[in-house]
């Protein structure tokens, strides 16, 4: 059985051109801090300034996410208040890291778009 490759080559060429023409920078644009969030503070500075987030701040330090949130990048953090974290063992690094990572998104989510 002989296959006709003459129809296959233009499709391959078009596919390759489409892949090559993609701009990688566009993929990362939604991670950049656009300044639209309305805060001059880094995320970690804001969390440190809120007394009801003391336990979450300790969890950030234990998990190492405090350094991640100390850079200028757009993040959304769903930070639970102290009352919600009283049963968490702060010395269990694996559990703390899992909880913290589930509360951080690597892009800004506007409250106007959430329901």
How much is the pTM?
0.62
* Residue 32 maps to a domain: yes
Quick check: is 54 in a domain? yes
Region 62-86: mean pLDDT is 90
51 has pLDDT over 90:
yes
User: Is residue 63 within 8 Å of 96, Cβ to Cβ?
Assistant: yes
Task: Please give the distance of CA 53 from its chain centroid, rounded to a whole number.
Answer: 20
Q: What is the per-residue pLDDT for 82?
A: 95
Residue 25 has pLDDT above 70, yes or no: no
The boundaries of the domain holding residue 106 are 8-113
The Cβ of residue 42 has, within 10 Å, a number of other Cβ atoms equal to 16
Contact 107, 34 (CB under 8 A): no
Q: Within a domain: residue 41?
A: yes
Q: How far apart are CA 104 and CA 77, in angstroms?
A: 5
Residue 2 falls inside a structural domain: no
Q: Is residue 1 part of a domain?
A: no
CATH number where 75 lies = 2.30.180.10
Give the mean pLDDT of 88-103: 95
Q: How many domains does the chain have?
A: 1
Give mean pLDDT, residues 91-101. Answer: 95
| 3 assigned to some structural domain | no
pLDDT of residue 14: 84
Write b or e for each residue in 76-103: b if 16 or more Cβ atoms lie within 10 A of its Cβ, otherwise e. bbebeeeeebeebeeeeeeebbebbeee
For position 43, what pLDDT does the model report? 85
């Amino acid at each position: 059985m002989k296959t006709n490759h003459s129809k296959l080559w233009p499709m391959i060429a078009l596919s390759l051109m489409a892949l090559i023409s993609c701009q990688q920078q566009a993929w990362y644009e939604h991670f950049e801090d656009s300044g639209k969030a309305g805060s001059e503070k880094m995320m970690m500075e804001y969390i440190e300034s809120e007394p009801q987030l003391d336990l979450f701040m300790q969890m950030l330090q234990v998990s190492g996410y405090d350094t991640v949130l100390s850079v200028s990048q757009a993040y959304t953090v769903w930070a639970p208040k102290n009352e919600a974290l009283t049963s968490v063992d702060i010395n269990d690094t694996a559990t703390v890291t899992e909880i913290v990572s589930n509360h951080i998104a690597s892009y800004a989510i506007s409250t106007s778009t959430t329901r």
